[in-house]
Amino acid sequence: MAKTPLISLIKPIEATKVHPRTGMSLGKPDVTVPYGALIEHVGADRDHEKFTYLGEFYTCKHDAFESATGGAKRASKKAAEEEEPAPVSAPAPTSMAEPAPEPAPAREPRLEWATLDSSEYKVRRAAVSGGWLVTLDGNGVTFVPDPRHQWDGGSPE
């Protein structure tokens, strides 16, 4: 089954945090999911839409969801249905010969993080186009421009 694509909000949306299995409200005040946030549509329940934001489950009224996503839910469902390949059955073996090796799975882009020597914090960096992504104790990420990747990871003298 194809993974549902992420949807970028075109305006903020008020949503209720819900329990992931039951879909029941956690009794907390509604939160504002900001403009530009990336969400993943999970499904519909009567007049509400369910989605995830930053790994948490939320629900909001259908009209508010449609307005904040620009109707992207319908397009993403269509795209997911089109991407799903038809099941293919393997041909039955005709002899007792060794089975053919399975093809290697396609590789997805991957960030390679390197740990930097630091006197106090755990600092890691990953080379990206135009510079470095740098994280401090895995809590935040910032971009350091360095088009030629000349930074050795140390502090300036």
DSSP the chain: -PPPPPEE-SS-EEEEEB-TTT--B-SPPPEEEPTT-EEEEEEEETTEEEEEETTEEEEEEHHHHHHHHTTHHHHHHHHHHHHSPPP-PPPPP-SSSPPPPPPPPPPPP---EEEEP-SSS-EEEEEETTEEEEEETTS-EEEEE-TT----SSPP-
pLDDT of residue 64 exceeding 80: yes
pLDDT for 99 equals: 67
Quick one: average pLDDT of 143-155?
A: 84
28 pLDDT above the threshold of 60: yes
- Is it the case that residue 38 has pLDDT exceeding 70? yes
Q: State the pTM of this model.
A: 0.46
